[in-house]
Amino acid sequence: NAGVTQTPKFRILKIGQSMTLQCAQDMNHNYMYWYRQDPGMGLKLIYYSVGAGITDKGEVPNGYNVSRSTTEYFPLRLELAAPSQTSVYFCASSLGTRKNTGELFFGEGSRLTVL
Amino acid sequence: GENVEQHPSTLSVQEGDSAVIKCTYSDSASNYFPWYKQELGKRPQLIIDIRSNVGEKKDQRIAVTLNKTAKHFSLHITETQPEDSAVYFCAASWAGGGADGLTFGKGTHLIIQP
């Protein structure tokens, strides 16, 4: 199993540009998540999904959108890139059961810089 | 929502000594408390977790303790080695609102001095 695969690993965007971060998992996990990691700030949840066709906002959803058409894929879209979105983005998945979150499996991360 | 505080932000210890990282949480309904280790430039990986029905869990040189009354939990690393150098994150399950997810602390940068 490849686990959680994210692309691209690095990207530089200009202010106002749009892009999609891709995420795929081959573990048949129900739950998928997008986190952003800023220096000294830990991991902040952007969006999550508990299954195909179901998505919900996390702590910092503004400026992002997601979709979950299949169990395997959970892309994150930035519509109008802003410097505040410069960060490292991690996609993660878990088997997921209500109230007892299991182990999160993270992708390798995508470092995004907005100039 | 849940709020997780983690201390210290940086911890430097001599190789062979013990290291302790502490976290507090706010939501008394939280019942799952994992610890993740992130080496420089790598992805976070789970190293140990504890659920609210136990007070302590140990795995070789690492252990986690949980005090539900005080709403705090700690990571203990004994006989530290150079490969323990990393950023460690605690987290608590966000069990409220019918949603599933983790709230992370801000991380502790553990430095093992030779």
* A30 Ramachandran zone, left/alpha/beta (phi>0; psi -120 to 50): alpha
The predicted model gives B34-39 an average pLDDT of: 96
Contact assessment for residue B110 and residue B84, using Cβ atoms and an 8 Å cutoff: yes
Distance CA B69, CA B8 (A): 22
* Chain A contact for B33 (CB, 8 A cutoff): no
Question: What pLDDT, in 10s, does the model give residues A36-66?
Answer: 999 888 899 999 998 899 999 988 999 999 9
B6 contacts in chain A (CB < 8 Å): 42
Give residue A93's Cα distance to chain centre: 10
B101 contacts in chain A (CB < 8 Å): 33, 45, 48, 58, 101
Interchain proximity A43–B104, CB inside 8 Å: yes
Beta strands in chain A (DSSP E): 4-7, 10-13, 19-25, 31-37, 43-51, 54-57, 64-66, 76-78, 87-94, 105-106, 110-114
Is residue B74 scored above 90 in pLDDT?
A: yes
- Give the residue from A53, A48, A2, A43 showing the smallest Cα distance to A25: A2
DSSP-derived secondary structure for B71-114 = TEEEEEE-S--GGG-EEEEEEEE--GGG---EEE---EEEEEE-
Q: Which of B21, B40, B43 to mutate to test the interface with A (most CBs of A within 10 A)?
A: B43
- Partner-chain residue, chosen from B43, B46, B95, that has the shortest CB–CB distance to A109: B43
The pLDDT, as a whole number, for residue B105 is: 94
Question: Which residues of chain A carry a pLDDT beneath 70?
Answer: 96-101
Percent of chain B with pLDDT over 90: 76
Q: Which of A99, A100, A103, A108 to mutate to test the interface with B (most CBs of B within 10 A)?
A: A99
Distance CA B39, CA B48 (A): 16
